[in-house]
């Protein structure tokens, strides 16, 4: 029998520089909002994005894996699947 090395972090999220992908999405969205506002708001958006990532990391440590997707489903930003396309509905009658 040959021993096989099994990676320790198979289910880890994709890294983008030193942040996980969902943390990078939070930063990029704050930065994009600052760029759209124009002028000095780009720098404010970048600093706000760094602060938002710190807050999100703290929130994410006590939550489930993939909590950002769960929040997007709950807020109605993303659809769950073809059957439940409106995530803002709280009651379903089949």
Give percent above pLDDT 90 in the chain.
Answer: 30
CA 4/CA 24 separation, integer angstroms: 33
Confidence of residue 42 (pLDDT cuts 50, 70, 90): very high
Cα–Cα distances in angstroms (integers) from residue 73 to residues 15, 54, 63, 92, in the given order: 22, 22, 15, 15
Q: How far apart are CA 76 and CA 87, in angstroms?
A: 5
* 17 has pLDDT over 70: yes
Q: Residue 45: inside a domain, yes or no? A: yes
Q: What is the pLDDT of residue 77?
A: 75
Range of the structural domain that residue 27 is part of: 15-62
Task: For residue 34, tell me if it sits in a domain.
Answer: yes
What pLDDT is stored for residue 90 in this prediction? 67
Q: Is residue 56 part of a domain?
A: yes
Q: Is residue 85 part of a domain?
A: no
In this prediction, residues 28-52 reach a mean pLDDT of 94
Neighbouring C-beta atoms of residue 7, cutoff 10 Å: 7
Q: Is the pTM of this model over 0.85?
A: no
Q: How many structural domains compose the chain?
A: 1
pLDDT in tens, 85-94: 666 666 767 6
Q: Which DSSP helix (H) or strand (E) runs through 36?
A: helix 21-37
Residue 87 lies in a domain: no
Q: How far apart are CA 28 and CA 40, in angstroms?
A: 16
């Amino acid at each position: 029998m040959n021993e096989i090395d099994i990676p320790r972090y198979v289910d880890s999220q994709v890294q983008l520089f030193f942040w996980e992908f969902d943390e990078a999405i939070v930063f990029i969205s704050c930065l994009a909002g600052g760029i759209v506002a124009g002028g000095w708001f780009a720098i404010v958006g970048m600093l706000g994005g760094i602060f938002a990532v710190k807050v999100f990391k703290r929130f994410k440590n006590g939550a489930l894996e993939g909590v950002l997707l769960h929040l997007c489903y709950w807020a109605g930003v993303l659809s769950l699947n073809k059957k439940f396309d409106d995530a803002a509905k709280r009651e379903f009658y089949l």
